[in-house]
Structure formats: structure tokens, C-alpha cells
A and B are shown apart, each in its own frame.
Chain A
Amino acid sequence: MGETTHKAGWQVIVSRAAGVLVLLAGVLLAAGLCTASTPHDNPVPTIFEPHSTPAESIQHLSHFVLAITGLIFLVVFSLLSYVVVKFRRRVGEAGREPAQVYGSTQIELAWTIIPILIVVVLFLATARVIHAIQDAPRPPEAVEVTAIGHQFWWEFRYPKLGIVTANELHVPVSDPAHPTPTFLKLLSADTDHSFWVPQLAGKTDLIPNRVNETWLDPHEAGIFLGQCAQYCGTQHAKMLLRVYVDGHEDFNAWVHAQQRPAHQDEKELGGKHVFETTACVNCHAVSGTNGTGRFGPGLTHLMSRRTIAAGAAENTPENLRLWIRNPDSVKPGSLMPAMKLSDAELDALVRYLETLR
């Protein structure tokens, strides 16, 4: 009982303070509202429109923190403004010094003890949310994903489902009655990276020679954008990330499609030959071919992805062609080399890649 009234108290403070008092929060909430979008497409990855349990608990905590800091701001800002206006030296006062005051133990004790109490309250609220997010139990229905950061793309492996994909993560909607959260094991193949999809969860780093974890628990289908949030080298900027939150049927359909071996099209054997006989296979894998490289994204179901080059370009035949011909024109500094293929080889290769659904 006491807890609920306490919470209601928070929310009252929050709704009043966050909108009106807090300078920053006010501006950003306005920004968030202006850019509000349909649940299926979330072009603005704002932290104030969370759609997943960990991001939501962070948002609740952040409202509480914004309310407290907003109140402190208002009080101290008013005091400072009052002092600056009220105690100006006025004309004709020159020459006489004001009363010399050296301090006041009572007042100084007050402005020591009150902040200490605020800190204790803030700390307890924070520790609770840290524990709730970091030490969350993992239900048996949870989807397991291993995310591996590479310069400059994401590898996603679903060990229980036998799926390997890249840059576009698919997770199921988690119904609060039957939660199916997604737990991610975070690894890095080279330098530090950070997994950040603001509307689904706070960021967690992917650090080489270390295993980290995070989890998502999305309540709504849609596409959620994010990107690498730890500087990882030249093309850190174009290490984009998108998460598709699918309804259960869509997710199962996607899983089945991904579990199938690569599509074999007898008409495109020429392009397959180009793929198998050039350096492509050193870095890229396509099931059923001799391409087993893991240095670059797997291409078995390339056409199931909407973007290429870790989100740097849309997945269209023109962009694929451009990307293979001259990666630097799409993503300068990426580790994909220019393949120096003839036009005929390039056409055949792109036609072949387009069959990899």
C-alpha cells in the first residue's frame, strides 16, 4: 500500500516536473512528440519512446531523476537569479562596503544534509533498477542470440536455431503473459563495440576476450534502429544496427526461411562460379558452396535483408553492384576490398546474389 502511494506520488511529480520544469526534458519531450511515429517504423531512436522492458524501466527511473534534478535546478537557478538581481551594486553606493559575513554553521549544515538525503534516495532508486535489469532471471522460453561485433558490422548467431545472419536482428514480440525475451551474449572479433538500440535497451559493450550480456523484451512489433556506440575504428559511423521485432508467426516464418539452405538457381550458375572462384569465399559464407569465410557477413539469405554494408545502403541490385565494384564509394574505410571484376562477371555475380533469398 505504502509502495503504491509512493509510486503515485512519483508519477505526479513526474508529470508536472518533466514537462514544465526541466529545461532539457521539456525540449526533448517536445522533440520526441514532434517526431512520434507509427509503431511499425521508428525512424527516430529516441530513448523516451521505449518499447521493451529494460528500456521502459530506464525511462521510469529517468523520469524520477529528471524530476529531482529539475526541482534542484529550479530552486538553485531561482536563488542565483535572485542574488544577481537583488544584490547588484546600485548607483551612489560606491565606497561603502557591505556587511562582512564569514559564514553560518546552521545554513552550511542545511545545505550539506539535504543533498545527502537526496543522494540516498536517488541511490536506492537506482540500485533497484540496476538489480532488476542486470540480474533479471532468464525464462526457459527466452531466445538466445550471440552477437559478435566486427569492424564494421554485426554478426548474429542463434545457436539453438542454427541461424547465422548479419546486421539485422530478428526477435519475437514478448507477450507479458508469456514472455519470450531475447538474451544476447555479446562478443567481439576485434576491437570494442557497443550494442545500442535505444528504444529496446540501454547499451552494453562488446569487448574482445570478454563475454557480456544484455536482453530485450519488446512488447510491440516494428523496426527499431540503433548503431555501434563505442568507437571501433574508421567506419564506426556506418556500423548501423536494426532490430525487427516480429509477431510470433512472422518470427517463426523468418526462422524457417533462415534455416533452409541457400537457394539454388540453375540459371545463375555463372554468378555462383564467380563467387566460388574469387576472393569472395575467403570472407563470406553461402551454404552449399565452398564459401565458408567468417570474416565478412554470411550471404546465404542475403536478399532477406533490407540493407547492405551494415545499413550503409539499401539492398538494391544497383547498390550491390556499386558496393562490390567500389566499397569505398559507399563506406570509405570498410574492410571489404574492391573486387576488380569485369562488367560481365559483376552482372553475373549480382544476379546470383539476388537469388539468395
Chain B
Amino acid sequence: MSSDVIAIQTPEGAGRSWLEMLHAWVTTVDHKRLGILYILYALVFLVIGGIEAMIMRIQLMRPHNDFVGPQVFNRMFTMHGTTMIFFVAMPILFGFANYLVPLMIGARDMAFPRLNAFGFWLTALGGFLLYFSFVGGSGLYGAGNAPDVGWFAYAPLTSRAFSVGHSADYWTIALLVSGFGSISTAINIIATILCMRCPGMKLSRMPLLAWLNLVMAAMVILALSPLTAAQIMLSIDRYLGGHFFDTQAGGSATLWMHFFWIFGHPEVYVLIIPAFAFASEIIPVFSRKPIFGYPVMVAATICIGFIGLSVWAHHMFTIGMTSYSNSFFVFTTMAIAVPTGIKIFNWLGTMWGGKIQFKTPMLFCIGFLFQFLIAGLTGVMMSVAPFDWQLGNSYFVVAHFHYVIVGGILFCLFGAFYYWFPKITGRMLSETLGKLHFWLFAIGFHLTFDSMHIPGLLGMPRRIYTYEPGRGWEIWNLIETIGVFIQGIATLVFVANLVLSYFKGPEAGNDPWDAWTLEWSVSSPPPPYNFASIPTVASRRPLWDRKHSEDPDSRYE
């Protein structure tokens, strides 16, 4: 392996002043550094969004609690949702895509390095603007700081009649700005994957991670554009006398719903497809088998991408659409369960007959499989429109999408951290702390989100800052709150693991997991420009071919 990879000595870091280091990071156009910036940025917001969740859970711990008032609570759920989707999940997944895609397809950088930096800094500005609302949202004038319109900001709550001051504007502009950032990154990912693959890497030999990120990027372009347009229309309403969503002047509240959800539902797939990508890399390596049914996995992903664009109105079953419209969206929503099911079965097929190693990345992926199964099935329940008339906007739906986002996406992300941290830093994360992290987080997750389904079935709507006693909701809310604190402790263990292992962890070497994709052929951390000489591949698992030259994959594909 070392014959075609020459370690390039990094001049950076050695003998440089703190200011020069900072300057190098701020002005970087290197895909790996930008990837790390994205990830660190998202981790900071993960902690902020988590604290907001804890404030809400303390308030809801018992009925008629007065830990915070309605105004603060409403800001907390708005900020929590917006932060977690736009400033945690999206950037952290973009960060991994940025870091990994060029390495895995044998490229030296992204197609447009400067556009890449532009995208990151726009996203960063968006997050900053959102949180600047705490200061700039006209709180001093009694209009309230920070937006309190909910993360989907239904009209006409965002009109100037109901959202005085500037807090809603900060929300709008933050999403507009970060939306431009996301679209530019998506364009970059597509261009990189289509144009920068190393010799021999046909589309049919690309690692699944690259394939899934390609689909994700295409969906970002299609989904974020309507949201960005809607934000511009909302600003026109608020400042230029427009009436798109102004119901008092003949505007349409449902128009906003359609704009938002034609972004909002594909967005779920934008987030879960990269999580699938992590699982599709990690599960084979720790099962010691190639991914089961590679072509079907690719086809299922593309299928999810297409169908995912036609299901948005299942968020709107209660708005009084006709029975025919409702039936259409029931059908498309149920149909998406088919390719999603195929994926779960194919991961299962990958593990079947393997020799599974329960390293921390694999533990998180197995947790993901079990939890995503449940999340998918509660999703099928809610695709049944009449059932959704009961479950929609209740705590059941909150439990469902946290099962997807935490139980699915976040578990895969944690797996990805444990799996690629050695490549990114050159050091292993502690397995002991990792397992502690996994079990604590899993216990906290299940305490919180399993019990959260039940008050929804007992009639508890979401987004209420307090509730009446005697409705059978108390005990479940208390358990949820306890679970959140266990998740918080688990997250501290994770952060401690990141920090301690960064300084003290054992050396990782190039290929600590005995893996098969190109990123493991270079040093850890990879040298600038990744590959001294561009590799050539003959199969989907180039490193398997090198390690098993007597029986290479290229013979079977």
C-alpha cells in the first residue's frame, strides 16, 4: 500500500503562532479542514439545542410547572427545532460528506474549493444570525426576543400583526442565508462525485457513501429552493406590502404550508440518507462482508429520493384537503416504506453469515437498525390519514420524528464519529468510554422517546408549555424528563471521549478497522491533497483487492 502512497509532510502546525493557525483555518479551502469546521460548528449548536430541549423537559416535568413561562417555552421549541435541523444535522452531515467524499472517490479535493468555503461561512453566518435574535429581536422594546413561531413558522403567525419586532426576521434571514450555503455545498458535492472520481471508479463501483450523498445533494437542491423562495416571499409580505401569506388581505396560509413541507419532508430524507450512508459503510466492515445487494441499495436510495419529493402533504392531513388528495398522499407515503424496508433487509443480509465485531461504531449502527425499524413503523401508522387525524400534532408525532432523528440519524452519526475519528485525528477514541456512551445514550433515548408516544395517544398536543393534571400524562412526562438527563450525561461522556482521545488516544495507524475503502489507504490524518498519486480501482472494495490479491472482488463484479 505504501508503494503508491507517499506521506506528504504537513508544514502546518509546526512552529506557527496561534494567530497564523487561526488565519489558516479561517481562510482554508481544504475540504478536510472545512469538513472539520462544519462538524465542530454543529457540535457547538448540538449542545445549545440540547440545553434548549432540557429547559423544555424541566418545564413539562409536572403539570402546571412554572420553571419558564409560555413566552420563553415557545421560543425554546422554535429555537430547538430550527437549530437542530438547520445548524446541527445539516452542517454535521455536510461536514462528513465534505471530509469523506473526496477521500473515498480518490480525489484530492472537492470540485470547487472556494465555493465550499463560501457555503460553510454562509451556514455559519446563518446560525449566528439566528442566535443574534436574542439580542437584536427588539426585546428591549417589549416585542420579545428570539422567534416564537415554531420551526415550521405557519402563516399567519409570522405576519407583522402576530410577530411584532424583528425576531421572525432573524429566523427568516438565518434560513435564507444558510439555505444558500447548503445549496452551494450540494452543487459542490454533485460536481465532485460526477467529475472527480479516480480512474476505474465507475458509478457502479462508487462506495455507497458517495452514492447516497449524491442523492442527498440532489434533494437539497430540489427541496431547499422552495424554502428559500418562501422565505423571500415572507420577507416581501413583512416589509414590502406583499400578501402571499397575509390571510387578512386574501393571502393563503395553506400556501406557506405547501412551500414549507415540500421542503420539510424531503429534508427528512436529506438528513437520513447520509445516516444510511454511514450505516452502509460501517455495517459491512464490522460484519466482515460486502454490502448485500449493492445495486438494489443504490436503486432504493434513488427511489426514496424520487418518492420523497411527492409525500409532503402528509404533514397536512388535518388542513381539510379533499378525500382524493388525502388518499394520494397516503399512497405515496406508504410507498416510500418499500425502498426503506429494502434497505433494512439488505443491512440485515449484510450481517447474516458475517462475523460481527461489536466495536462502538457497530453498536451505534445496530441501535440504529432497531430504532429505525420502530420509527419506520410509527411512520406507517401516521401515513394512514385517519390515524394521523388523531396522532398528528400530538406527542406521538414528536416521539416519531425524534425516533427518526435521534434514534436513526444521531445514532448513525455517533457511529460515524467512532469510525472516522481515527482517520480525522490519527488517534483512536476510547472503546470503554464509547461503550459507556452508547449504553447511557440508548437507555436515556428509550426512556424519553418510548414513553413520549403514550401521552400523544392520550390526547396531549405538542407545543404546550404546561398541561392540566389528571389526564394521565404526568408519569410519562416525568419519565421523559429523566431520560433527557441521562442523554445529557451520555453526551458529556462523548465530548470527554473526543477531547481526551484527541490528546491521549492510542495511535490509529492508516487502517485501524481493516476496512476496504480508499480513505483507509492514506495516512491518518490524511496529508494535504490526500493522494500523492491518484489511485486506480478495479472494484467497490479497492483495499479488499489489495489485501486479498488471490481472490479480489473485481473477479465477481
List residues of A whose CB falls within 8 A of some B CB. 23-24, 27-28, 31-32, 34-35, 43-48, 55, 57-58, 61-62, 65-66, 69, 72-73, 76-77, 79-80, 83-84, 87-90, 93, 97-104, 107-108, 111-112, 115-116, 119, 122-123, 126-127, 129-131, 133-135, 186, 190-192, 194, 196, 198, 201-205, 207-210, 212-213, 225-238, 240, 311, 332-333
Question: Closest chain B residue to A55 by CB distance?
Answer: B390
Provide the main secondary structure of the chain A interface: mixed
Given contacts A98-B355, A190-B162, A234-B71, contact A130 B326 (CB under 8 A): yes
Give the contacts of B120-150 with A (CB-CB under 8 A). 148, 150
Contacts known (A76-B373, A115-B341, A131-B323); A237 close to B250, Cβ less than 8 A: no
Top 7 nearest A-B pairs (CB, nearest first) are: A202-B389, A45-B459, A237-B464, A212-B320, A103-B293, A208-B247, A89-B355
A61 & B387 in contact (Cβ 8 Å cutoff) = yes
Q: B344 within 8 Å of A by Cβ?
A: yes
Taking A61-B386, A209-B248, A236-B464 as given, write out 13 further A-B residue pairs in contact, using a Cβ cutoff of 8 Å, ordered by the A residue number.
A31-B472, A44-B472, A46-B458, A69-B377, A89-B355, A98-B288, A101-B353, A126-B330, A129-B386, A209-B253, A228-B461, A231-B157, A332-B70
Find out whether the CB atom of A102 lies under 8 angstroms from the CB atom of B320. no
Asked, given contacts A103-B296, A130-B330, A235-B70, whether A76 binds B344 with beta carbons under 8 Å apart, the answer is yes
Q: In the complex the two chains form, is A98's CB within 8 Å of B354's CB?
A: yes
One of B251, B381, B390 near A69 (C-beta < 8 A): B381
Q: CA A137 – CA B494 in complex, angstroms?
A: 58
Q: A66-B381, A69-B381, A72-B377 are in contact. Are A102 and B334 (CB under 8 A)?
A: no
Q: How far is the CB of B400 from chain A (nearest CB, A)?
A: 10
Q: Across the two chains, which residue of chain B brings its CB closest to A81? A: B370
- Give complex CA distance A183, B470 in Å: 29
Size of chain B's interface in residues, with CB distance under 8 A? 96
Contacts of A208 in B (CB 8 A): 156, 247-248, 253
Q: Of A65, A99, A108, A203, which contacts B384 at CB under 8 A?
A: A65
Q: How far is the CA of A115 from the CA of B344 in the complex (A)?
A: 12
Residue with the highest number of chain A CB atoms closer than 10 Å, among B154, B251, B344, B556: B154
A149 and B453 alpha carbons, distance in the complex (Å) = 27
Distance in angstroms between the alpha carbons of A31 and B453 in the assembled complex? 12
Q: Are A103 and B294 touching (Cβ within 8 A)?
A: yes
Residues A230 and B393 in contact in the complex (CB < 8 Å), given A48-B457, A98-B288, A191-B162: yes
| Given A101-B289, A207-B319, A69 and B157 contact (CB-CB distance below 8 Å) | no
Say yes or no: B358 contacts A88, CB within 8 Å: yes
B484 within 8 A of A: no
**CB-based contact A115/B358 at 8 Å:** no
Tell me whether A233 and B289 are in contact (CB under 8 A). no
A–B pairs, 24, beta carbons within 8 Å = A28-B458, A43-B472, A55-B390, A76-B344, A77-B370, A80-B369, A83-B351, A87-B353, A88-B355, A89-B355, A97-B548, A101-B349, A119-B334, A123-B331, A127-B327, A190-B162, A201-B389, A203-B393, A204-B389, A210-B254, A212-B319, A230-B318, A232-B157, A333-B69
Given contacts A130-B326, A209-B247, contact A225 B464 (CB under 8 A): no
In the assembled complex, B356 has its CB within 8 A of some CB on chain A = yes
Query: Per-position contact with A for B368-384: 1 when CB-CB < 8 Å, else 0?
Result: 01100110011011011
Is the CB–CB distance between B253 and A192 below 8 Å? yes
B404 close to A (CB within 8 Å): no
Q: Hey, which bits of chain B sit against chain A, CB under 8 A?
A: 69-71, 74, 148, 150, 154, 156-157, 162, 247-248, 250-254, 287-290, 292-296, 318-320, 322-323, 326-327, 330-331, 334-335, 337-338, 341-342, 344-346, 348-349, 351-358, 366, 369-370, 373-374, 377-378, 380-381, 383-394, 450, 453-454, 457-459, 461-468, 470-472, 548, 553, 556-557
Q: With A191-B157, A230-B154 given, is the CB distance from A203 to B392 under 8 Å?
A: yes
**Do the beta carbons of B387 and A65 come within 8 Å of each other?**
yes
CB within 8 Å for A111 and B463 given contacts A98-B288, A126-B330, A130-B326: no
Q: Is the CB of A205 within 8 A of B320?
A: yes
Contact A101 B292 (CB under 8 A): yes
